[in-house]
Chain A
């Protein structure tokens, strides 16, 4: 019995070692799977003779991407701009507000519950109203992005700022530290990993928010391009726009993750 348990323990130790060198394996593995799926898609579309306006083959999407690259880049930049401005605005407003909520019990009991309730309102449903109120320019898209990003950031920040272990707060109080010292030396660094969790959630929502805003009413952006090209049966172009949106989302996410690794080197990995 004892021998068996020992053997099991050794096996487990081996497994752990293996998993530490596996990231490359998983990258190679997932890339191969992805390529296989794309190939399968190509073959199926050709064999089953599916019309291009219904489901374009990957090769047709690639051709559309190349043919329309000028337009695609222009529209991508519009969407990227809306996304980044809305995201930045959300950071600029929700972090100070989280500080206020953590500092003031009154705000915590009045504003915070309202914010939580507001989160339940579907932002997609607000987008048409925003178009009604502030028109069809860049601003309503930025506002939608702001609205979807705001909540995860403020919740993560407020949680993080309050996550200081009780003994550490006792220690700080025993030294009569000022509120500013407490925030700068203890609360903010403690909150940093939490804040980045919120930022990573928010940035993936941000791109979706921009596209929703463009769907409702707009003359440029990748969301607009998808809407127009599907209505004109230029499905390969719609797919091209979709590919760019996905790439944008992934790049932005890893951008935030990269900044996190520089700004919060002590954060637990993954």
Chain B
């Protein structure tokens, strides 16, 4: 079943130097509960595409269908995670997680129970009443993931969520995310500029290239789940990685030099 359908989508901006094409003719169909990663160098439009899917910005041209219907405004049915945790400093961990539930006016008791369950899943039981400044960067990002899931969205949009973390925390959180996704399936669109991360997480990797931003290739990742860290060293993994690397720099990037 298709969750999100994108057809001939363009995003252009008017600037002093003329029109800038951020995204050119994007065609992409995302199945329900599929884990998609968007990977590419900066300027390839991967974050723009994510914002378009979240209806935070409007396409200049093209079609964006959400459950078969055109998307007019933010669907409320999405969770978002960003590079920074952007937690509210004046709220406890639990109250931060509950923010979306409050805004959407969900039942308090069940939202609270769900929030506690999510915090337990990411290993933050006992931290409910702490404040964000008392937490490490990795813990803060775990809280922001819980916040993105508390209202049970069917789509999770993640914009380089682990990019600001150290390499070890990053791996740890990647596996945690997959564990959560395994138990509670959602459609995930995950933006990253890390090719290894993109392959390890995804069902399909959407490789994008810059100037203008466009989809260069879509690679099906046929690795068994649950994924493990040693898959990274398999021949299959390397071939995926080579395929992606070959296309994303096309357009004047590092690969051409």
Residues of A participating in the B interface, judged by any CB pair closer than 8 Å: 165, 167-168, 170-177, 181, 185-186, 189, 192, 264-266
Does B238 sit within 8 A of A, measured CB to CB? no
- Could you tell me the dominant secondary structure of chain A's interface residues? helix
| B84/A167 in contact, CB under 8 A | yes
Q: Indicate whether A171 sits within 8 Å of B131 (C-beta atoms), given known contacts A176-B74, A177-B103.
A: no
What are 22 A-B pairs at a CB distance below 8 A? Answer: A165-B86, A167-B80, A167-B86, A167-B159, A170-B56, A170-B82, A171-B80, A172-B103, A173-B74, A174-B56, A174-B74, A174-B76, A174-B78, A174-B80, A175-B103, A177-B103, A181-B103, A185-B102, A185-B103, A192-B90, A264-B90, A266-B131
| The one of A168, A174, A177 that contacts B86, using a Cβ cutoff of 8 Å | A168
Residue of chain A at shortest CB distance from B99: A185
User: Complex: how many Å from CA A177 to CA B100?
Assistant: 9
Residue of chain A at shortest CB distance from B79: A174
Residue of chain B at shortest CB distance from A170: B56
Chain B residues near A266: list those with CB within 8 A. 89-90, 131, 133
9 more contacts with CB within 8 A, not counting A181-B103, A185-B103, are A165-B84, A167-B82, A167-B159, A170-B54, A171-B86, A174-B76, A185-B102, A186-B88, A266-B90
User: Complex: how many Å from CA A181 to CA B105?
Assistant: 11
The bracket for how many chain B residues form the interface is 20 to 34
Chain A residues near B131: list those with CB within 8 A. 266
CB-defined interface of B91-111 with A at 8 Å, one 1/0 digit per residue?
000000001101110000000
| A189/B73 in contact, CB under 8 A | no
| B76/A175 in contact, CB under 8 A | yes
| A176/B76 in contact, CB under 8 A | yes
Residue of chain B at shortest CB distance from A264: B90
A157 CB → nearest B CB, Å: 17
User: Complex: how many Å from CA A185 to CA B99?
Assistant: 9
Does B51 sit within 8 A of A, measured CB to CB? yes
Chain B residues near A186: list those with CB within 8 A. 88
Chain A residues near B102: list those with CB within 8 A. 185
Residues 11-53 of B at the A interface (beta carbon under 8 Å): 51
Chain A residues near B73: list those with CB within 8 A. 176
Q: Indicate whether A174 sits within 8 Å of B54 (C-beta atoms), given known contacts A266-B89, A266-B133.
A: yes
Residues of B participating in the A interface, judged by any CB pair closer than 8 Å: 51, 54-56, 73-74, 76, 78, 80, 82-84, 86, 88-90, 99-100, 102-104, 131, 133, 151, 157, 159
Residue of chain B at shortest CB distance from A178: B103
User: Complex: how many Å from CA A176 to CA B73?
Assistant: 8
Chain A residues near B76: list those with CB within 8 A. 174-176
Chain B residues near A189: list those with CB within 8 A. 88, 90
Chain B residues near A181: list those with CB within 8 A. 103
A9 CB → nearest B CB, Å: 20
Chain A residues near B74: list those with CB within 8 A. 173-176
Residue of chain B at shortest CB distance from A164: B86
| B103/A170 in contact, CB under 8 A | no
A213 CB → nearest B CB, Å: 38
A242 CB → nearest B CB, Å: 40
Chain B residues near A170: list those with CB within 8 A. 51, 54, 56, 80, 82
Residue of chain A at shortest CB distance from B50: A170
User: Complex: how many Å from CA A198 to CA B80?
Assistant: 34
User: Complex: how many Å from CA A167 to CA B73?
Assistant: 17
A163 CB → nearest B CB, Å: 12
User: Complex: how many Å from CA A170 to CA B83?
Assistant: 13
Chain B residues near A171: list those with CB within 8 A. 80, 82, 86, 100
User: Complex: how many Å from CA A177 to CA B104?
Assistant: 8
User: Complex: how many Å from CA A186 to CA B100?
Assistant: 12
User: Complex: how many Å from CA A161 to CA B133?
Assistant: 21
A36 CB → nearest B CB, Å: 40
B53 CB → nearest A CB, Å: 10
Chain A residues near B82: list those with CB within 8 A. 167, 170-171
User: Complex: how many Å from CA A135 to CA B218?
Assistant: 78
B54 CB → nearest A CB, Å: 5
B129 CB → nearest A CB, Å: 14
Residue of chain B at shortest CB distance from A172: B103
